[in-house]
Amino acid sequence: MAQQALRPNTAGSLFATDGRRHPVQDALTAVTLVLGVVSFVTAQFHSLHLLSSWTGLVGIFTGAYGQWISVTTRERFGLILGLGASGVGFLLGMAHGGLFGGLW
């Protein structure tokens, strides 16, 4: 009983963690978030479609792999945000000219 009194209650928290370090998952989460933000922001400019489509595509792949190996809710939450931003940026980049600049 005394041990439960000292243990924090993380069961109801959105960002519950298991108390261990997950450097690979944390790195994938950070990379996916950064790629998602870059892809989403650059997709707002028609002339930056190459950057938005490529960063979106890489962000989708890193986010998907991160989801596959993720352990905690905190990691999954960040990965879903990054995946959503990467997906929107990728699709807008494809609509503005695609991965290769409309050379085909």
Is residue 7, in this structure, part of any structural domain at all? no
The answer to the question of residue 13 being in a domain is no
Residue 61 belongs to domain spanning: 23-96
Which of 25, 8, 14 has its CA nearest to residue 71? 25
Residue 66 domain-assigned?
A: yes
The tokens for 14 are 């959105």
In a domain, 1, yes or no: no
Task: Return d(Cα 3, Cα 15) in angstroms, integer.
Answer: 22
Cα–Cα distance, 98 to 51 (Å, whole number): 10
Q: Is residue 83 part of a domain?
A: yes
Residue-wise pLDDT tens for the chain (104 aa)? Answer: 555 556 665 555 555 567 788 889 999 999 999 999 999 999 999 999 999 999 999 999 999 999 999 999 889 999 999 999 999 999 999 999 889 876 65
Residue 15 lies in a domain: no
How many domains does the structure of the chain reveal? 1
- pTM recorded for the entire structure: 0.82
First to last CA, the chain: 69
